[in-house]
Structure 1
């Protein structure tokens, strides 16, 4: 089961519950704000969140992490390049909002790490490194369900900005081509903002076909 929850404090961001239908255990991806809203959804649906997964370390994707981590005793995971973003409010941009977000007790994972549920190891996601929007950017891919949680790397008919710490346009476009667009055409892409798309659709778009 995939449940999208739009959370807003400064920027509307898509948080995703990726839940095993049998056990109701699962992952929460990119809880950017509104911890109370996300806790209420989990409680009402009977979800048990084992791990919080971050596609990258910008403030609008990590804003509710610390509160939820404490409430659920959930493991927080991100790509191994994420330490600068987790620990430095200038890099995660929260300093611009006056928050100064710092994450603690983060598990840093390598490219291609398989993240599994304790309750059901068959419910899993593959971490695929996609730097370029940030140096720690990654996608979480489920081959079984044909979905990829792509954060801010790819949007509907567009791609992420690269003018912030750790960003680089050439790097992002190269990694989108090599790490996301090589997935099966039917793969649904679930971005950090706005509407879902697919590998098949984005391969046809001028931003991709005309530049890669």
Structure 2
């Protein structure tokens, strides 16, 4: 089960619950704001959130993490290069948002690591590093559900900005070619800020 909640006022951001229908355990992907609202929704549904996974650590994707953890304690995971972002309000852009945001006790996952539920080890997400928008950007891919949570790597009819600290346009396009366009064409792309799209649709758009 994939359920999207859009949070935040200044920059509306998509948070995704990826939940195993059998066990009702799962992951929360990004918590950009309104952590209490995200936690209340999970509790109302009877879901157990085993891990909070971050596609990257800009403030509009981590701003609700600390509040969420106050209601539902769970481990937080991000890419290996994430500390420069989550520990520095200049890099995570939260000073631009008006209030400094930092995280602590964030664990890391490696490129190509498989993240599995403790309650059901067959329910997994594969990590694919996709630097370019940030140096810590990544994608979470589920082959069984034909789904990829792509953060700000790629959107419906657009790609992530590269004019922030750590951004690199060439690196982003290389990441998209390597990590997105190699997925099966029917893979649904769930991004941080737009409606869903597919690999096939975006490949057609950019390869005309």
User: TM-score scaled to structure 1, two decimals?
Assistant: 0.96
Say whether the 8 Å CA contact 1:9–1:34 is kept in structure 2.
Answer: no
- Shift of residue 96 of structure 1? 1.4
Distance 1:107 1:9 in 2: 28
Residue of structure 1 equivalent to 2:41: 41
1:68, 1:74 within 8 Å by CA — same for their partners in 2? no
How far apart, in 2, do the equivalents of 1:20 and 1:70 lie?
23
**Matching of residue 133 in structure 1 with residue 159 in structure 2:** no
Cα shift at 1:43: 1.4
2:155 match: 155
Distance (whole Å) between structure 2 residues aligned to residue 129 and residue 84 of structure 1: 16
Q: Deviations over 1:47-100 (max 9, x none)?
A: 111100000000000001112123222110011011101111100000112321
The equivalences for 1:27-176 within 5 A come to: 27-176=27-176
Deviations 1:117-173 (A, max 9, x none): 111111110110000000000000001111000000110011111000110000000
- Give the superposed CA RMSD: 0.9
Residue 204 of structure 1: SS of its match in structure 2? helix
1:199 matched to which residue of 2?
199
Gaps of 5+ in 1: none
CA distance in 1, matches of 2:182, 2:35: 35
Aligned-partner SS, 2:82: helix
Partner of 1:177: 177
Give the match's secondary structure for 1:73. Answer: coil
1:11 has 2:6 as partner = no
* Per-residue deviation, residues 5-53 of structure 1 (Å, max 9, x unmatched): 0101320100000000011110000110011211121111111111000
Q: Which runs of 5+ in 2 are unaligned?
A: none
Distance 1:103 1:8 in 2: 18
Deviates most, 133-142 or 2-11: 2-11
What count of residue pairs does the alignment treat as equivalent?
208
